[in-house]
């Protein structure tokens, strides 16, 4: 009798302990279903993808060369190497950007010491045309307010390199950002004061109306600026705020491009800076904006920037564009080099270009927004 009673008590005790350990707010199967499958057969497995652009009915991702897939194909399917004979068989893509004129790519040939500038090509109407024969060492292309900006490396030596920001108008025309020792950041257009913004080192520059006439914004925070962004969602929105990302992980917000009253930390430690920054639509009616900030450490941080600069939390705790287990099994393991959102406030596709060279993951991920909700999470490309 004692044995039976003890057995019953033990089973009861086990059940109570087991139930107490359960968490009704956490779904074991549902969290597993939100995970991303990492595939070692991906084109982008263990690669660094610097950026991606959307043009026409295709996505174009940049590795050393260019890969494209139709926008209509599913994630991870249909990626093909862009084998354009006019680029040369040993081409290296140094930058990509899209304006209303088409898709621009900067091409050089050969690797390392044998690398030689080729030029800037434009895809429009299905045909590639060389629109500029480069002698400059092009480092990046940026499109802002339908202007194509070009970052060039002008000199290099043991003591460092110098860079310039130019823009394409038949030829490469110089701006006032010339001979700077820190490579210029991306260029953004802030519609509130109709100005272009770019930064180099600790200096923030603006130009109104641009694309020349850049001058130093003396009221900018005294930090090393690594990235710029606005809260405009591409194709559908006007900006109301301008953001500065810094090498210490601090993000600053301005509504006029002159004063920067708000700053928040978006990093694990001030040793790790901001490498990417993009606003995406948020909330059930599409009225909200969230700022995604890629960290040079791993993963990204998210904050509500709908009407101010909210506090940043990591992607696995804020869960704005992906659930915790989905984030942990994808971008939580590598730095995100750039975010690219294509779509409206209601629906679209968000790409994250990452550095997966040191981890067993793919370097390109996509996430879908549909019916005003981020529901699918990150999927490996």
Partner 1 sequence: MKSPTAWALALILALFPTIASFAQESSPAPLEVRSYEKGDQLISLSAGTTIPLFTFGGNAATTDPKLYTGGSFSLGYQYFLTHGLAVGGSLATSFNKTYGGRDFFMAPLSVRAAYWWSLKYFDLSVAVELGGYLSKVSTETMMGPFAKAGGGIYWRINNDWSLGFQTFYWLVPEIHSGDYADLTRFGNILEASIFAAFHL
Interface with partner 1 (CB under 8 A): 15, 18-19, 21-33, 35-38, 325-326, 328-330, 375-376
Q: Which is nearer to partner 1, 291 or 379 (CB)?
A: 379
Work out how close the CB of 19 gets to partner 1 at its nearest, in angstroms, rounded to a whole number.
6
Work out how close the CB of 328 gets to partner 1 at its nearest, in angstroms, rounded to a whole number.
7
Q: Which is nearer to partner 1, 24 or 89 (CB)?
A: 24
Q: Which is nearer to partner 1, 230 or 325 (CB)?
A: 325
Work out how close the CB of 10 gets to partner 1 at its nearest, in angstroms, rounded to a whole number.
12
C-alpha–C-alpha distance, residues 51 and 97, integer Å: 9
Q: Which is nearer to partner 1, 30 or 116 (CB)?
A: 30
- Secondary structure class of 126 (helix, strand, coil): coil
Q: Which is nearer to partner 1, 1 or 19 (CB)?
A: 19
C-alpha–C-alpha distance, residues 136 and 286, integer Å: 43
Residue 149 sits at the vertex; the CA angle it makes with 143 and 154, to the nearest 5 degrees, is: 150
Q: Which is nearer to partner 1, 18 or 125 (CB)?
A: 18
Work out how close the CB of 20 gets to partner 1 at its nearest, in angstroms, rounded to a whole number.
10
Q: CB 65: neighbour CB atoms within 10 A?
A: 16
C-alpha–C-alpha distance, residues 10 and 196, integer Å: 72
Q: Which is nearer to partner 1, 11 or 174 (CB)?
A: 11
Which of 224, 263, 223, 222 is closest to 242 using CA atoms?
263
- Secondary structure class of 20 (helix, strand, coil): helix
- Count Cβ atoms within 10 A of the Cβ of residue 13 and give its class: 0-12 exposed, 13-18 middle, 19 or more buried: exposed
CA 350 to chain centre: 9
Work out how close the CB of 40 gets to partner 1 at its nearest, in angstroms, rounded to a whole number.
11
Please give the radius of gyration of the chain, using alpha carbons only, rounded to the nearest integer: 23
Work out how close the CB of 351 gets to partner 1 at its nearest, in angstroms, rounded to a whole number.
20
Work out how close the CB of 24 gets to partner 1 at its nearest, in angstroms, rounded to a whole number.
5
CA 373 to chain centre: 20
- Count Cβ atoms within 10 A of the Cβ of residue 359 and give its class: 0-12 exposed, 13-18 middle, 19 or more buried: middle
């Amino acid at each position: 009798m004692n044995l039976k009673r003890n057995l019953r008590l033990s089973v009861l005790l086990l059940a109570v302990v087991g139930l107490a350990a359960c968490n009704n707010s956490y779904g074991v199967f549902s969290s597993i279903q939100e995970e991303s499958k990492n595939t070692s057969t991906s084109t982008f497995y263990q690669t660094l993808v610097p950026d991606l652009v959307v043009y026409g009915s295709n996505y174009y991702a940049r590795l050393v060369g260019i890969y494209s897939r139709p926008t209509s194909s599913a994630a991870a399917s249909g990626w093909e190497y862009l084998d354009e004979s006019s680029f040369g068989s040993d081409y290296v893509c140094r930058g990509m950007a899209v304006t209303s004129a088409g898709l621009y790519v900067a091409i050089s040939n050969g690797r390392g010491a044998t690398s030689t500038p080729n030029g800037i090509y434009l895809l429009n109407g299905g045909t590639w045309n060389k629109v500029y024969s480069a002698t400059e060492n092009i480092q990046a292309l940026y499109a802002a307010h339908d202007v194509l900006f070009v970052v060039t490396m002008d000199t290099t030596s043991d003591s460092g390199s110098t860079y310039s920001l130019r823009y394409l108008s038949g030829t490469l025309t110089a701006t006032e950002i010339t001979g700077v020792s820190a490579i210029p950041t991306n260029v953004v257009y802030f519609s509130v004061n109709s100005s272009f913004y770019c930064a180099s080192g600790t200096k923030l520059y603006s130009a109104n109306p641009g694309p020349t006439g850049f001058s130093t914004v003396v009221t900018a925070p005294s930090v090393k600026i690594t990235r710029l962004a606005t809260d405009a969602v591409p194709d559908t929105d006007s900006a109301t705020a301008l953001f500065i990302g810094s090498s210490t992980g601090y993000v600053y917000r301005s509504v006029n491009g002159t004063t920067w009253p708000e700053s928040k930390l978006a990093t694990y430690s001030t040793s790790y800076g901001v490498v990417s920054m993009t606003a995406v639509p948020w909330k059930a009616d599409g009225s909200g904006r969230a700022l995604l900030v890629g960290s040079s450490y791993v993963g990204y941080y998210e904050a509500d920037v709908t009407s101010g600069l909210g506090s940043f939390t990591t992607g696995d705790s804020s869960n704005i564009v992906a659930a915790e287990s989905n984030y942990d099994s994808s971008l939580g393991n590598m730095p995100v080099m750039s975010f690219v959102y294509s779509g409206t406030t209601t629906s679209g596709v968000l790409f994250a270009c990452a550095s997966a060279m040191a981890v067993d993951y793919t370097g390109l991920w996509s996430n879908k927004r549909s019916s005003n909700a981020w529901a699918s999470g990150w999927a490996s490309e």
